[in-house]
Chain A
Amino acid sequence: MTTVPRSSGKNAIIGLLFLVVAASGGTMLRHSRFNWLGTPIPGDPGPFFLISICLSITGLTGTIMLGLAVRRNKASLRCPVFSMATTGLPAAYVIALIVMPIAMRSLGTTLATSIFAMIWITVLMYRQGTSIPRIAISASGFGIGAALFIQLVFVRLLTLPLP
């Protein structure tokens, strides 16, 4: 088994992530506790017991990691893992996906998925340096193919009630 050493910057981000998870989880847990009107069963540590332990360990680990990362090397805390260059395309892809359910509701699944496929085939092929006519043929072909596939397999064969 190989162990990959992490940079101080990554450790700091992980520590911060754990702290955010613990803090937001703690806030949600307080809300749940406040709204619970039931009575505990004898012996049962309660419905919030395990969650509290898990969030406490997460928060404690996050604090220690962040503290150690800051103490060890303040200069290397900048971490380029989430720079625009590395996450720009995935971020745009996620945004398009978030719009997808709305498009599915308004345009129908077949049309929405077909448009999504055409746009993204165009973007990805353009990034590969493919010529425009080839992109147009591939994107429209795949878009129509995807629409036909979804209609035949998911709607007709599997009878899924897609919007």
Chain B
Amino acid sequence: MMSAFFDVLGQYLSDPAMLGLVALGTVLGLVLGAVPGISSTMALAILMPVTFGMEPDAAILLLISIFMSSVYGGSISAILMKLPGTPASIFTQVDGYPMTRQGRAGQALTYALVASTVGGLIGLVILVTLAPVLAGFARNFRSPEFAAVALFGIVMLSFASNGSILIATVVGLIGVVLGAVGFDSLTDAQRLTMGAPMLQSGFNLIPVIIGLFGLGEVLQNLVGFGRTPADTPKIGQISVPLRDLLGRWKVIGRGSLIGTLIGAIPAAGSAVAVSIAYAQERRLSKTPEAFGTGHPDGVVAPEAANSASVGGSLIPLISLGVPGDTITAVLMGALMVHGLTPGPLLFAKDPTFVAWIYVAVLMALVATLVFGLGMIRIAVLVTRIPPHLMYVFVTLFCVIGAFAIRNNLNDIYVMIGFGIIGFSFAKLDLPVTPLAFGLILGPILEENLRRSLMISRGSWEIFLQRPISALLLLLCLAVVVLPLIARWKRRKACRFRL
């Protein structure tokens, strides 16, 4: 594996085209991530069609560069304008924006960039160490285990979503139903098509993702569209004393570990990781009262966790074929477009593909540091891109991207339909991510569930006879039932007190 890693690294470093792609992806990710209202997921979804004509290795390099740099890009608008570019930058603004108000925006951006780079590297090291171990373990998985992992992914995402777990689970199940539209792979039965030829091949993942996360977000931003804030923040001094940076190694280390571990839990996501990292650092700090007033640790901890969670979220994607969060779900869709299906057999079958991902993450991190440092002075300009231009530009990308996947105009309508769904769900405070997860994991769940039952001649005991699937099903049950019991107990206690 390591020899494949160094081979690919050497090959990429000596190829100007690959270096150019990293630079392009990094700048695009930084710019799009920095624009409020454009999340990393949206950036990846709308730029995915650009890679359709590329070789898989070049496509992975470009997409991962966009992905990694947009993570830091999201912090730029959070620090400068108190407008998080991505949901995971919410905690960066808490201390980053007060630093900007104090004329220390440059330092806040530098802290964020360094913490993000180190966090990303720690996440990558843990990814390289853990993914093969987990994949080796998962190589013994059969249909019951895969069915249980897919169900676990859907349930965990529902658990990690804001609001009711039950509602998020139902949204995930609607995603499973949408994933079943079209011909059944085992019996060739047409399902939920009503005879319409457009639905016979099912919903292609790419227009769905572009609609949900691209057009859906544009439509949300159009609600109450008005003036943009006019004040231009001052960057101030950029350089941070090295001693000051090195003195925060414990904060970066803790944030990175929390980020990687939380990110590795399927569906937990970077937003959960940063909130835990921030809360933990505040708890451990000698000056917790300074948090929220421009404390550098309040920028460093969530940024390290945010970037490290990328490596963490890639662990279940590469080793189990289960996306760690929304953005890795989009990345998985992009990999599948290029004929690459992540999973436990990948390390044995195609180690070069794994090496592509590792090298792409490493190069993207270094490029983000280089371009990020260079961009600090002009970061203010990025946040000043007029939103109306950005929304129209993104919409055109959504339309052409949806069409480009199969050169089919009907896919534009699918994209618009899912854009409306994404918008409506946001208006109703319904989580949209379980829908995408259900759509991706539904076919895996269904196929493996039915294969298992065919093997056992219809006996459901097969899922309990195999320890891993039994454990995962037990965990799924616990995730759904325990909060309900806790709520019931709380209500009972309240009634007793009255």
Query: Are A6 and B413 in contact, CB atoms less than 8 angstroms apart?
Result: no
Residue B272 lies at the interface, judged by CB distance under 8 Å to chain A:
yes
Find chain B residues with CB under 8 A from A121 CB.
Answer: 388-389, 392
Chain B residues with Cβ below 8 Å from A161 are: 407
Is A81 in contact with chain B by the CB < 8 A criterion?
Answer: yes
B190–A32 CB distance below 8 A? yes
* B5 at interface by CB-CB < 8 Å: no
A121–B390 alpha-carbon span in the complex (Å): 10
Q: Which of A138-159 contact B (CB under 8 A)?
A: 138, 142, 146, 150, 153-154, 158-159
Instruction: Name the A residues within 8 Å of B419 (CB-CB).
Output: 94, 97
Give the B interface residue count (CB, 8 A).
Answer: 74
* A107 within 8 Å of B (CB atoms): no
Chain B CB within 10 A, most for which of A29, A50, A138: A50
Quick check: is A136 within 8 A (CB to CB) of the other chain?
no
Verify A43–B456 contact, CB threshold 8 A. yes
10 nearest A-B residue pairs (beta carbon): A124-B388, A47-B184, A54-B173, A47-B189, A90-B219, A43-B454, A43-B458, A101-B409, A43-B457, A28-B192
Contacts of A49 in B (CB 8 A): 450
Q: Is the interface of A mostly helix, strand, loop or mixed?
A: helix
Nearest residue (CB) in B for A154 is: B400
* Nearest opposing residue in chain B for A65, CB measure: B167
Given contacts A47-B187, A54-B173, A159-B53, contact A87 B223 (CB under 8 A): yes
B163/A3 in contact, CB under 8 A: yes
In contact, B174 and A58 (Cβ under 8 angstroms): yes
Inter-chain contact B173/A57, CB cutoff 8 Å: yes
Is A97 touching B160 in the complex (CB atoms < 8 A)?
Answer: no
Binary interface profile of B, 151-190, with partner A (CB < 8 Å = 1, else 0)? 0000000001011101100100110110010001011111
With a cutoff of 8 Å between Cβ atoms, the chain A residues found around residue B409 in the complex are 101, 104-105, 163
Contact status A129-B227, CB under 8 Å: yes
Contact between B187 and A38, CB atoms less than 8 A apart: yes
Select from chain A the residue with minimum beta-carbon distance to B451. Answer: A44
Complex partner residue of A35 from B190, B392, B413, B445, CB under 8 angstroms: B190
Q: Is A4 an interface residue (CB 8 A)?
A: yes
- In the assembled complex, 12 residue pairs joining A and B whose CB atoms fall closer than 8 Å, in A order, are A1-B160, A4-B429, A32-B190, A44-B186, A50-B442, A54-B176, A97-B395, A101-B409, A117-B392, A127-B225, A128-B227, A154-B404
The answer on a CB contact under 8 Å between B400 and A109 is yes
- Inter-chain pairs besides A32-B191, A48-B189, 20 sampled, C-beta below 8 Å: A1-B162, A1-B272, A3-B162, A3-B163, A4-B163, A29-B191, A42-B454, A42-B457, A43-B455, A44-B187, A47-B189, A87-B223, A93-B222, A113-B400, A117-B392, A124-B225, A146-B392, A154-B400, A158-B50, A160-B403
Q: Does A111 contact B (CB under 8 A)?
A: no
**Chain A residues in 8 Å Cβ range of B450:** 44-45, 49-50
Tell me the smallest distance from the CB of B167 to a CB of chain A, in Å. 7
A54 touches B190 (CB 8 A): no
Which residues of B lie under 8 Å from residue A1 when comparing CB positions? 160, 162, 272, 275
CA distance A32 to B445 in the complex (A): 21
Which residues of chain B are near A21, meaning CB under 8 Å?
Answer: 174, 177
B396 and A146 within 8 A (CB):
yes
> Restricting to A84-123, which residues have a CB under 8 Å from any CB of B?
86-87, 89-90, 93-94, 97-98, 100-101, 104-105, 109, 113, 116-117, 120-121
